[in-house]
Homo-oligomer: A and B are copies of this chain.
């Protein structure tokens, strides 16, 4: 999917919502355990319920790998089921030498047809660029994450530039490509850091976790992070997929997604008219 196509979807649906498919056997409604593939059945109903409110789905690979080869089958079925006009993010946080990154790119882009993959920056340029060779596919690079441990290294000041590590990650990696195939992860819990991020990458899309349960404010994120093409994909996982816990979990997920979509529509109206 191209940047322009993504922006058109955002305008069409008045939404920049990504639904995180962190689907966990121990948390899905118990009646689904009778299904042949409970995780796929859960995802299918979540997708049916939320599709009209969302522009992206983001399965976190860990939840599928935890179930071994059966989990990967659930993920493959899920990817086949997701409509082709929606942006998909393999939340894998991979990062390895070039030779190996090629294999991950094959796994996510060729075999499973994801539009994008999250990548960790620690190993540098040759761990990122193999993904960029696929047309219309994206790297979503970790910059400033929303977890407590993000303060351990990401906020360290770099002597040569007086920037924080995550700013240096953004500045350097932005030179490897452009806003047409790279995005950055910036946690909603650090909305004010979006000012600095936007100074470095005014045009890039940002993937924003941490709105809702983790305490980030959608209003603040939009105030500091939205650009002319929206430039934001805001993720919600548990707040949507586990909004209900019984047979009506689909309706509960739809309500939770609709609520966020309506807030997003108001923000798009406010900032882009």
A residues apposed to B, CB below 8 Å: 22, 24, 60, 62-63, 65-70, 72-73, 76, 93-101, 103-104, 106-107, 111-112, 120-128, 142, 145-154, 156-160, 162, 165, 168-169, 172
Total copies of this chain within the assembly: 2
Q: List 9 A-B contacts (CB under 8 A).
A: A69-B70, A69-B72, A122-B153, A124-B150, A125-B149, A156-B158, A156-B159, A158-B158, A159-B162
Contacts of A96 in B (CB 8 A): 60, 62, 93
Known A122-B142, A122-B153, A159-B162; further 17 A-B contacts with Cβ < 8 A: A65-B107, A66-B104, A67-B107, A67-B111, A68-B72, A72-B72, A93-B96, A97-B145, A121-B152, A122-B145, A124-B149, A124-B152, A125-B148, A125-B149, A126-B147, A156-B165, A157-B159
Known contacts: A22-B100, A76-B68, A142-B122. The answer to whether A147 contacts B127 by CB under 8 A is: yes
In the complex, A153 Cα to B141 Cα: how many Å? Answer: 14
B168 in contact with A103 (CB, 8 Å): no
A147 in contact with B24 (CB, 8 Å): no
A122 in contact with B122 (CB, 8 Å): yes
Contacts of A103 in B (CB 8 A): 24, 60, 62-63, 65-66
